[in-house]
Structure 1
Amino acid sequence: MNKELYRTEDEYGPIIVLEQGDKRTLSFGSDLQQTSLLMHKPQYLVHEYTQIMLLGLVFTDIRQITILGLGGGGLAHCLNYYYPQIVTRVVEIRQSVIDIAYQWFNLPQKANLKVYNRDAREYIKRVKAQSIDLLLSDLYEAQGMNELQAQTEFIEQSNKALSDSGWMVINFHQMPDKNSAVMKTIYQNFSDVRVCDVFIGNWILFCGKKESAFDKNEINERVRKLAKKLGLPLMYYFKNLRKI
């Protein structure tokens, strides 16, 4: 049984913190969970789709990561814990969500973890070109995915923001049609496009500006090392990742 710990509301709607045992959940007032965190082990990624998104780490060397959408900070917790040498920037439009992530989900305040109260659309439009090695886009609202992730302009601007060997990973609630405008734009802007579907129905799209510099054996080894480091079944997900 979930216990309600905190509730507030801003211009975008309600924000609710729930607790069941050691698990704490963030909701925007619907059945969708924005974040689920184990408070004794916040670096562990509870949601399968977030585990899969971290496969973006294996295709290129990473110095700077940008996350679009904070929630309770699951991805930020994980990256800060296991990769303190990497600068991670998180963009979140709702200041209330940022405050709650610090207060109720123990988001760490570290020099390498920078959180910005910005609109993702404007942030990507204005960020320095070729400044991001890995872009993780997880923009969701109470009823589902933010429409920004399926807009062609957003894809084009994200491509410009990525370094020459950069990758973009997008959490799609439903896979866009192959002939849709957004998929055509992705194919035009990215040389390597792969997808992995998760059990709950989400589709995680991996978009590389160019083919990975690592060969198949090197990538497999990087996946094995990442899986061991994070304690996650990443090789299983990687084997289900296919080029499209």
Structure 2
Amino acid sequence: MSDYQVLHQTEDEYGPLIVLDDKESRILAFGENDEQSKLLKAAPHIPQHTYVQAMLLVLLYSQPKSAIVLGLGGGGLIHALRHFDAGIKLTAVELRADVIDLAKRYFQLPLSKKLKVINQDATQFLALGDHKRVDIIFTDIYSAEGVDVAQVSESFIAQCAALIKADGYLVLNCWKEHSKNRELLAYLELHFVEVRACLTGSANWVVIAGKTRRDISSSALKHHAQALSNQLDFPLARSLTRFDLWK
């Protein structure tokens, strides 16, 4: 990342916080050679990471009116969802107060009455269970070391499911190693009737679990993906070819 200018570099109780800029894009890092979030400054709604693009495949199945995002980072998902539909009620939960400040200061976080940002540990937020049920929960809880272990635990999945509506979805961003985690699949199958997943070009394993079964033909799905790609302003085709039932 030698071509990037350091705009911000501090440290909180959880580790380093670095903001880098190369005129066209901006990166939030939690350590050296780390890239937690990347934003294209001229078009912040277009996800720069393939795992974020894959997470948005859930919009092929759901037209959400409300969603929870666990793990704010630079706000890439918030930007994309706001571009998709500015009327969605969004709640973002972020452990690190400084990350929230950086998202606002450097990553054009689209603040509005439709977005509530909560500075809290996601596991505590879920344990309280006092948020209204939503159509989708996106969970993307990472540190510089990788996926938070809580995110793939039985209690975490159960608590997420309790906050999702009867026809809603859970979207998990994991590592490709989790594709062999049969315990995780079993936890999901306790609460969701259809579990799909996508291995991304960045070696992430994105899981989309639904509480209802959607019988959509492959041709209809491709057609819908093309329309959704136009709406989101980036192509979904690459993610869709890797997307299938997790068995």
- TM (norm. structure 2) is 0.92
1:41 to 38, 43, 61: 43
Q: Matched residue of 1:33: which SS?
A: coil
Q: Is the 8 A contact 1:68 1:120 kept in 2?
A: yes
Q: CA deviation at 1:179?
A: 5.9
Q: How does 1:139-178 map to 2 (within 5 A)?
A: 139-176=141-178, 178=180
Distance 2:65 2:224 in 1: 16
1:26 to 28, 33, 46: 28
Q: Deviations over 1:123-170 (max 9, x none)?
A: 122234771111111111011111111111001111111100111111
Q: Is the 8 A contact 2:200 2:242 kept in 1?
A: no
Q: Deviations over 1:89-113 (max 9, x none)?
A: 1110100000010011121221111
Give the 3 Å change call, closer, same or farther, for CA 9–231 of structure 1 in structure 2.
same
Match of 1:210 in 2: 212
Q: Matched residue of 2:63: which SS?
A: coil
Unpaired segments ≥5 residues, structure 1: none
Question: Percent identical across equivalent pairs?
Answer: 33
Q: Matched residue of 2:170: which SS?
A: strand
Give the 3 Å change call, closer, same or farther, for CA 81–177 of structure 1 in structure 2.
closer
Q: Matched residue of 1:176: which SS?
A: helix
Match of 2:189 in 1: 187
Q: Deviations over 1:176-233 (max 9, x none)?
A: 3656432211122211011110112111111111212x63365444322211111222
Match of 2:18 in 1: 16
Match of 1:236 in 2: 238
Q: CA deviation at 1:237?
A: 1.7
Match of 1:67 in 2: 69
Superposed structure 1 runs of 4+ greater than 6 Å apart: none
Q: Deviations over 1:51-86 (max 9, x none)?
A: 110011121231101111011111111212331111
Letter in 1 for 2:98: S
Letter in 2 for 1:90: A
Q: Is the 8 A contact 2:192 2:212 kept in 1?
A: yes
1:54 to 43, 53, 56: 56
Match of 1:138 in 2: 140
The root-mean-square deviation of aligned C-alpha atoms, in Å, is 1.7
Q: How does 1:44-123 map to 2 (within 5 A)?
A: 44-123=46-125
Q: Matched residue of 2:27: which SS?
A: strand
- TM (norm. structure 1) is 0.93
Unpaired segments ≥5 residues, structure 2: none
Aligned residues: 243
